[in-house]
Structure 1
Amino acid sequence: MKLDELDTPAALVDVPRMNRNIARMQSRMNALGVRFRPHVKTTKCLEVVRAQLAAGANGITVSTLKEAEAFFAAGVTDILYAVSIAPSKLPRAMALRQRGCDLKLVVDNARAAEEVAKFCAGQRETFEVWIEVDTDGHRSGIAPEHDALLEVGRILHDGGVKLGGVMTHAGSSYELHTPDALSALAEQERSGCVRAAQRLRDAGYPCDVVSAGSTPTALSAAKLDGVSEVRAGVYVFFDLVMHNVGICSTDDIALSVLTTVIGHQPEKNWVIVDAGWMAMSRDRGTSKQTQDCGYGLPCKLDGSLLTDWVLSGANQEHGILSPVGEARETESLEARFPIGMKLRILPNHACATGAQFPEYHALSADGETTLWSRFHGW
């Protein structure tokens, strides 16, 4: 189907842009001499993951066991579950291991490590477990120099659990917007994770893998000495947050939401569309950045940006397009944006917007679309 034949709202994937993004990241990782393990939580889509693996990726990163199960069923075996494991999920994770999935788990505290060791002893089986390291104070993990790092290593090692490596995620990179700041954080991420691995090795614990990465730091690192692999996810689609960070242009954003003009409020200079927050998500990640993009930026069907317009408001099924600042149209809203006109909206956060839809309409270079399924849940 062509774009003007699709019902709206609909999630569109610009396949040429996506493939260009995949090639860019994989080429950079190859040049830096590290393996690349893409995070698939952004897309949750088999067709996208196949393209990433075909380009040279080694294994995948997931954020839910449902992702692990779905991609393992599709033939992907090397999987990192990059969220500290909840004890209640250990039987489900073990079922994957017993079916042949090379599933790695993550912990970042002694209690979680004890629960894993206890479970493995009861099952007379083992997991491969990585320790999450906090290199920027963004979220979870153990600081590289903290005593807890060696304590967790000891619990796993003495408990007969395979300590496979360390991993970190410099999520605070999303708050930056200059090349110098991004490269500095990339080095902080690298050195911190390498230091944690060295401390574990010096204490006599095996630590083969050093895994780092976020999309901004992966594209900004000058060197990755001591790092085994890099993980990144949103690069495959990019979004307006990444544009504001400074690592992509709007022409690189491969995900958009197709919407239809359904009304006007001339006295307010508003155009009403049928993509509200149920389509775009509530994510307002650009609100604290250098450019506030509202709930998204509108484009023509060919993907070209409608400058000076923004999706400034969103109710459940209504979106409000308005001009930026004091700009006003010289022609009427009805003439510029007639009822039934279709537009594309670039999202703030590709992961959040994608999660609103059960499928993507993959848009080829010739303008035809193909359905790609994605899945929800945990």
Structure 2
Amino acid sequence: MNIDELNTPAALVDVGRMSRNIERMQRRLDSLGASFRPHVKTTKCEPIVRAQVAAGARGITVSTLKEAEQFFANGVSDIVYAVGMIPTKLPQALALRRQGCDLKIIADSIQSAEAIAAFGRDHGAVFEVWIEVDVDGHRSGIAPEDDLLITVGRALVGGGMNLGGVLAHAGSSYEYSKHEDLVRIAEQERAGAVRAAERLRAAGLTCPVVSIGSTPTALSAERLEGVTEVRAGVYVMFDLVMHNVGVCGTADIALSVLTTVIGHQEDKGWAIVDAGWMAMSRDRGTQRQQHDFGYGLVCSKNGAPLSDYVLSSANQEHGVISRIGSVDRDIAKHFPIGTRLRILPNHACATGAQHPEYQAIAEDGTAETWPRFYGW
């Protein structure tokens, strides 16, 4: 099958770009002396994760226990579930561990730590637990200097669990666009996680792993002393948010949505396509950045950006392409009905999640279907 035979809308993966993205990240972290544990929530796709592991990744990060189950079934056993553990999910986590999965879970509260320890005691199980550290006030975790850090560590160890390390994610890095700011946030992330580990060790608690990472900080960090591993996810595809952050160009974005022009509103300068928000997602992450790409940047069928055109609005199954800054009253001539286009996404994770499969496009234009999965 080739791209002209595909039904639209379809999620396309440019295999050449994806491979270069994988190599770039792995090479960089190798040079900085840290292990790499990619976050697979972006793709949820076995062939892509296999390529990441083949390039040198050591273990994976997941955001759902279903991801852990799927990838463990495909031979990956070293897995971190990087979402705060709740009691109702402990049986699912225990089932994975009893099957031989080296699953690590995280906690960032005394309530979570005590629940994990109690469940473990009741079921004769020892979980490896990492403490989530808040290095930038972005989302969740315990501040490195907070006494709660030691309290949680002691509750885990005293409850018979294995304190495996600390984990941090500098999500605030998405808010910047200058390299010097990304370097600063990367160092803040590193220093905060290392400080948390030092405090745990000073309190007599083991802390072998110091795990940090986001795509912007992983690509901007200048040193990783004290860090044992880095996690990043969206780098494998990149997207327009990452383009605005400044860590990739549009030529690096490996995920796009193939769409077909189905109509026009010439007086408005609109071309109507069959990719709406069901194909692109409702994510408007670039709206808050320096360059707003609407619902996505329009490219030719072969992937070359048409820099003046964006998917400016989207209904469920209809998208509207228009020119930035002025009405294109010749849009029907520029994009006749039946024209095939690619749309680069704002957020690769969200757009990928709209599709049950990817069409992996090789250098020669042939397509191979790669399934992806949903659920929790």
TMscore range, shorter length: over 0.9
Q: Distance in 2 between matches of 1:301 and 1:198?
A: 52
> Which runs of structure 1 show a deviation greater than 3 angstroms over 4 or more consecutive aligned residues?
none
Q: Is the 8 A contact 1:133 1:196 kept in 2?
A: yes
- Structure 2 counterpart of 1:101: 101
- Structure 1 counterpart of 2:317: 317
- Structure 1 counterpart of 2:165: 165
Q: Structure 1: where are the runs of 5+ without partners?
A: none
Shift of 1:326: 2.0
Please give the root-mean-square deviation of Cα atoms over the aligned residues, in Å: 0.6
Q: What SS is found at the alignment partner of 1:307? A: strand
Q: Which amino acid aligns with 1:27?
A: R
- Structure 2 counterpart of 1:358: 356
- Structure 1 counterpart of 2:265: 265
- Structure 2 counterpart of 1:6: 6
Match of 2:343 among 338, 342, 345: 345
Q: Is the 8 A contact 1:77 1:100 kept in 2?
A: yes
Deviation by residue 1:180-211 (Cα, 9 ceiling, x = unmatched): 00000000000000000000000001100000
Q: What does residue range 82-231 of structure 1 map to in structure 2 within 5 Å?
A: 82-231=82-231
Q: Which amino acid aligns with 1:375?
A: F
Q: Distance in 2 between matches of 1:333 and 1:78?
A: 52
Per the normalisation by structure 2, the TM-score is 0.99
Shift of 1:334: 2.0
Q: What SS is found at the alignment partner of 1:287? A: helix
Shift of 1:327: 5.7
Q: Which amino acid aligns with 1:155?
A: A
Q: What SS is found at the alignment partner of 2:306? A: coil
Q: What SS is found at the alignment partner of 1:317? A: coil
Q: Distance in 2 between matches of 1:126 and 1:162?
A: 7
Q: Is the 8 A contact 2:41 2:233 kept in 1?
A: yes
Q: Is the 8 A contact 1:16 1:364 kept in 2?
A: yes
Q: What SS is found at the alignment partner of 1:242? A: helix
- Identity of counterpart residues, as a percentage? 66
Q: 1:335 and 2:336 equivalent? A: no
Q: Distance in 2 between matches of 1:61 and 1:267?
A: 49
Q: Is the 8 A contact 2:262 2:274 kept in 1?
A: yes
Q: Distance in 2 between matches of 1:92 and 1:303?
A: 42
Shift of 1:359: 0.2
Count of residues in Structure 1 that have an aligned counterpart in Structure 2: 376
Per the normalisation by structure 1, the TM-score is 0.99
Q: What SS is found at the alignment partner of 1:144? A: coil
Q: Which amino acid aligns with 1:350?
A: A
Q: What SS is found at the alignment partner of 1:286? A: helix
Q: Distance in 2 between matches of 1:335 and 1:321?
A: 14
Match of 1:368 among 361, 366, 369: 366
Q: Is the 8 A contact 2:269 2:327 kept in 1?
A: no
Q: Distance in 2 between matches of 1:139 and 1:157?
A: 25
Q: Distance in 2 between matches of 1:176 and 1:237?
A: 19
